[in-house]
Amino acid sequence: MSASEPKKQRTNPQYELLYHPGIPGRGEHIRLAFEAAGVSYKDTANENLPNDKGLNGYREVLAVCDAKSTGDKDGNPPVFAPPALRIPGAKKDGGTLLIHQTPNILLYLGPELGLVPEDEAERLYVNQLTLTALDVSNEAHDTHHPVAVMQYYEDQKDEALKKATDFRETRIPKFFSYFERVLKGNESAGQGRYLVSDKLTYADLVWWQVVDGLKFAFPKEMEARSKEFPLIYTKFYPGIKEEKGIKQYLASDRRPKYGMGIFRHYPELDRQ
Amino acid sequence: MSASEPKKQRTNPQYELLYHPGIPGRGEHIRLAFEAAGVSYKDTANENLPNDKGLNGYREVLAVCDAKSTGDKDGNPPVFAPPALRIPGAKKDGGTLLIHQTPNILLYLGPELGLVPEDEAERLYVNQLTLTALDVSNEAHDTHHPVAVMQYYEDQKDEALKKATDFRETRIPKFFSYFERVLKGNESAGQGRYLVSDKLTYADLVWWQVVDGLKFAFPKEMEARSKEFPLIYTKFYPGIKEEKGIKQYLASDRRPKYGMGIFRHYPELDRQ
């Protein structure tokens, strides 16, 4: 299957992910939700890659983030940054809905894709765990860009070393302890495989992607801590990998490789 | 009125904010929502302040964030960090709901306090704008703690100067341009005073608090940019200040002073 072909026959609604081409990044959390649900989606910047290296698709992404936009003709506010999700016909008046912010997109998709429980309290837990996992992702990003997001890593290497050391020594254990305890508290329902209830939710997918990204970025650190968080390492992480939809996806060429995105492997920033 | 007295007669449900005492911080976003709605709430760590300097109240806050907790008897997952919101009787089974993450708490409170529109798309806009405003708040925090959140500012001053310079020169204009354009795009409904629809939403309160915090932290920078973003500076910011509930609150001793929280005024980090 080439990357230009969608995974499945398109159905309505036509979900369209607008994100940077060629990297997992924050867009990956949206992809994983669709893939786990087995619901087709258009990944605009990536689907045109073989023909035009994503340029036409990426132009559409950049267009919705135009720094002069005050919103679109359907009454959607401007997009601050990708990822964004576009769904024709999803507004009350039949217009196209265009939203951004990863946790906001997932909040919308959760019920649509069957990736949240029915219970309102449990949906709030899913949202709060997603937000917390994304905080880890932001901090991981800041390890290589602690001073200026638009400048090169090479221009902030000294600061990056300090930030990464703190992240590895202080923040990883704090966040991993938290998610280990969430799994433990939900063990009778979730068997260590799910954070909330006895079924897969998008919070699981987000936290899994963060753990996976950290394994790429800090392989030595993550290996050294493998005994500290047994549920995460032996139940949760391998369990999500085997979920229907996810297993297929990870083996496909739709799964982007890590590179110069949020999770980067600079050996000097890893445990020595 | 002393800080130990709640603002109004308590009604059900009994909302309880669990946050650090004595600073605005992220808890302030929750306070502003209650104050704008005129709904009473318990601010546990602050309400006991005159008697015990908040120690008994703060112990309750620390208890829900216990680093060994796997959740509570009501089936709520552990809290990663304050602010948290506790509402007895709010769970389906009559149990106490305990949630954390500022945007998650606001997502829950929005409909309860009448601080979101009825329209589902507009509620998503409110959430995405809240998330974006809180990103600004996080970046403002990182200007004085770019390297290690648990270490002193004094131990990361060189890095802080670089981070603050980038924040002032690159990030403030980018974010302010965004919110100015959101106000512009919604001007026919919101008159420059509201980000979404023609009524106050919690997104307005969050963005207002961020602007107010930045005025405290970077007064010269904010003054220098006052002509660049006319809707924010002349319509939105002064307008929210005059909102029913907010005006009263800002004049009361319930409004905590800025200090050693997210927004700090270090003159060396401001525009010179």
pLDDT 10s digits, A145-164? 999 988 999 999 999 999 99
**d(C-alpha A106, C-alpha A113), whole Å:** 10
Sign of CA dihedral A132, A133, A138, A139: positive
Q: What percent of chain A has pLDDT over 90?
A: 87
pLDDT at B122: 98
Residue A84 tokens read as: 């964004």
User: How does residue A57 score in pLDDT terms, banded at 50, 70 and 90?
Assistant: confident
Selection from B164, B166, B167, B172 nearest residue B268 by Cα? B164
Preferred mutation among B86, B101, B102, B130 to probe A, highest tally of A CBs within 10 A: B101
User: How does residue A41 score in pLDDT terms, banded at 50, 70 and 90?
Assistant: very high
pLDDT at A9: 47
User: How does residue B149 score in pLDDT terms, banded at 50, 70 and 90?
Assistant: confident
Q: From the CB of residue A192, how many other CB atoms can be counted at a distance below 10 Å?
A: 17
First-to-last alpha carbon distance for chain A, in angstroms, is 40
Q: What percent of chain B has pLDDT over 70?
A: 93
pLDDT at A150: 87
Domains and CATH numbers, chain B: 16-112 (3.40.30.10), 117-269 (1.20.1050.10)
Interval B10-62: pLDDT, tens:
455 799 999 999 999 999 999 999 999 999 999 999 886 555 555 678 889 99
Which residue in the block uniquely carries the two structure tokens 């405290």?
B216
**d(C-alpha A198, C-alpha B183), whole Å:** 43
Interface contact A121-B91, CB threshold 8 A: yes
Within 8 A of A181 by CB-CB distance, chain B residues are 68-71, 78
Q: What is the mean pLDDT of chain B?
A: 93
**d(C-alpha A41, C-alpha A50), whole Å:** 18
Q: Mean pLDDT lowest for which of A127-131, B61-65, B99-103, B207-211?
A: B61-65
pLDDT at B246: 98
The stretch B154-159 carries a mean pLDDT of 94
* DSSP annotation string for B144-205: H-SS-TTS-GGGGHHHHHHHHHHIIIIIHHHHHHHHHHHHHHTHHHHTTT-SSTTS--HHHH
Residues in chain B: 272
**d(C-alpha B62, C-alpha A193), whole Å:** 28
pLDDT at A5: 45
The stretch B138-159 carries a mean pLDDT of 94
| Contact status, residue B41 vs residue B19, Cβ threshold 8 Å | no
pLDDT at B3: 43
B residues 205-244 closer than 8 Å to A (CB): none
Interface contact A185-B78, CB threshold 8 A: yes
The CA dihedral of B243, B203, B195, A79, to the nearest 10 degrees, is 170
Q: Is the pLDDT of residue B267 over 70?
A: yes
A142 touches chain B (CB under 8 A): yes
Q: What is the mean pLDDT of chain A?
A: 93
Q: Is the pLDDT of residue B151 over 60?
A: yes
Q: Is the pLDDT of residue A4 over 60?
A: no
pLDDT at B57: 84
pLDDT at B198: 98
Angstroms from A1 CA to nearest CA on chain B? 35
Preferred mutation among A26, A92, A136, A147 to probe B, highest tally of B CBs within 10 A: A147
The stretch A103-111 carries a mean pLDDT of 98
Who contacts A81 (Cβ-Cβ below 8 Å, separation ≥6)?
A: A65, A100
Helices then strands (H, E): number in chain B? 14, 4
**d(C-alpha B68, C-alpha A165), whole Å:** 24
Interval B73-129: pLDDT, tens:
999 999 999 999 999 999 999 999 999 999 999 999 999 999 999 999 999 999 999
Interface contact A92-B138, CB threshold 8 A: no
